Amino acid sequence: MYTLVYSINDEKEPSTIYVNLTNACTNSCIFCLRTQKDDVCGREMWHDDKYTLDDIIEQFNNYKNCAKEVVFCGYGEPFLKKDMMKSFCEYLRKNYPQIKIRVNTNGHANAVYKMNVADEFKGLIDSVSISLNSDNKKQYNEICKPSIDNAFEEMKKFAAACKNAGMEVNMSVVTDFDDIHKINVGECEKIAHSLGAKFRNREFIKNGY
């Protein structure tokens, strides 16, 4: 079975556990780790989405006694497996209510499903980290190469929807990933704050962690 649940270091009892639900994404970012390597800490990250909730739970059981936070992340956009994510969130809430749940996302979910996905996850997700990546649509499209229309605006609207659903919202940019794209970090921070989000400037790390 491929990697669905993993940690990113060799700690015996890692407190942050990651979930790799899909390799699909509505972006194709220049700096995406998927274009650079096939593994995270030696764990193969590619898979075919053919798994069950029980497969996730079986892998999660390796960490059930140490996990303090579960992060939906991995090699793709977690919300593209919305129903599976919801089922696992519900399982965690029922069996491990003390565990915090975060989703790292490109923020396209409401646009993809044409509904308020943030509301659907109200009370299930504690926080979201949304990739803002630029202060303007033109540069966002150059960097992220989205496959959906109006991705930049939709991503910002999703941040506001998550805030309205009571989640903590963090928005981030990645800088220094090439010599061509200069990110206006100050303007990005203003956008994040205007949406009620916290802001983080993540320096590009070649191996991603």
Site string for ligand SF4, 11-50 (x = CB under 6 A): --------------x-xxx--x-x----------------
Region 170-209 residues binding ligand SF4, contact defined as CB under 6 A? none
Q: Could you give the CA distance from residue 58 to residue 53 in angstroms, rounded to a whole number? A: 9
CB of 148 to ligand SF4, least distance (A): 12
Region 125-154 residues binding ligand SF4, contact defined as CB under 6 A? 131
Region 65-124 residues binding ligand SF4, contact defined as CB under 6 A? 76-77, 106
How distant, in Å, are the alpha carbons of 1, 25, 45 from that of 32? 24, 11, 13
Residue number, 94 or 206, with CB nearest to ligand SF4: 206
Residue number, 99 or 107, with CB nearest to ligand SF4: 107
Residue ranges that bind ligand SF4, judged by CB under 6 A: 25, 27-29, 32, 34, 76-77, 106, 131
